[in-house]
Amino acid sequence: MVEEELLVEVEVSFLLTTPPQVSGFIVHIGDNGLSYGADVVSTDGEAVLLEITMAKFWPGRYFVYRAGRGGPPSLEALPNPPLDRFHPTHEVGIISHAEGYVVAAMVPNHYIGGVLNPNYELFRYSSHTRTWSTKVIPFDRTSATDLGHVCGHTTNKVITVGGDSIGWVDLWRGILVCNMLDEDPVVRFLSLPGRMPTNARPLGTWSASARSYRDVICVGNTLRFVELEYYDDADDEDIDYGWKATVMERALGVDSALLEYMLYCRQC
């Protein structure tokens, strides 16, 4: 890999364990030893998107590690994105497909000429072309959607959705979904449930952190959502100390609310 006319050797090793144990990875940079910072940004299948800071005061660089089924693993250094318009680790995702992979980030562009018209600027890197491209894409307004949730969207995490899409998740509001393999993609919105009653009062503002209370993943064609409620009101005789986890599922393509409610409770 060439960086300021210097050839730098980068090695990445993964240390995988079975959950609930925590897996990890090590990055080694040429003669300098360990990197100055490294993050796993996103994963899909055998592809892992990494952001690595290779030298002090240098900006981070994207790498894609591929496990290589039936062959040796590979590590590719991506060219830098054309514009520094998005958070390098919180708003970028990767999706793997039969011919390679796509890395993407998306930023809102909702007001054109002072008029509300939700659009997004999509930054997309293709392993086929080995280049970044940018494109303004529209929001699909054919379904009933709360535009307040869409325009107030703040990305907490990025996930793959189905076999062809990336989802930018606001854990309070919903998921902005975009098909990465479509030549003319659009952005769709999948809503998440309102807050559970116990969380509605202390977490009344949208700016409150959701990561300690909520999460969502996509497995195959099913979204799985969980929210934790903590009970610690000693003045309420009807509520014991403890917590309750509410888990819900929704099949992709179903426009209704999340389905198949399951409850897990524990008192402590």
Residue 137 is predicted with a pLDDT of: 93
Same domain, 179 and 83: yes
Same domain, 96 and 83: yes
The rounded distance, in Å, linking the Cα atoms of 74 and 66 is 5
- Residue 20 pLDDT grade (very low, low, confident, very high; cuts 50, 70, 90): confident
Same domain, 55 and 128: no
Pairwise pLDDT comparison (92 vs 191), residue with the higher score: 92
CA distances from 149 to 106, 144, 155 (A): 16, 12, 12
| 34, 49, 77 - which closes a domain | 77
Residue 86 lies in a domain: yes
Residue 1 is predicted with a pLDDT of: 45
Residue 197 lies in a domain: no
Same domain, 88 and 180: yes
Asked if 167 and 175 count as a contact pair (C-beta separation under 8 A), the reply is: yes
Q: Residues 114-129: what's their mean pLDDT?
A: 87
Q: Residue 48's domain spans which residues?
A: 1-77
| 77, 106, 128 - which closes a domain | 77
Global pTM value: 0.84
Same domain, 73 and 84: no
Lowest mean pLDDT among 47-51, 62-66, 139-143, 163-167: 139-143
| 164, 191, 218 - which closes a domain | 191
Same domain, 94 and 184: yes
Residue 151 is predicted with a pLDDT of: 82
DSSP state of 139: B
Residue 164 lies in a domain: yes
Residue 179 is predicted with a pLDDT of: 94
DSSP state of 32: G
Same domain, 157 and 254: no
* Tally of domains within the chain: 3
Residue 187 lies in a domain: yes
Same domain, 113 and 96: yes
Pairwise pLDDT comparison (252 vs 26), residue with the higher score: 26
Mean pLDDT of the chain: 82
The rounded distance, in Å, linking the Cα atoms of 49 and 33 is 21
Residue 209 is predicted with a pLDDT of: 78
Same domain, 176 and 94: yes
Same domain, 254 and 219: yes
Residue 43 lies in a domain: yes
The answer on pLDDT for 203 being more than 70 is no
- Residue 143 pLDDT grade (very low, low, confident, very high; cuts 50, 70, 90): low
Residue 106 is predicted with a pLDDT of: 93
Same domain, 96 and 184: yes
Same domain, 183 and 83: yes
Residue 42 lies in a domain: yes
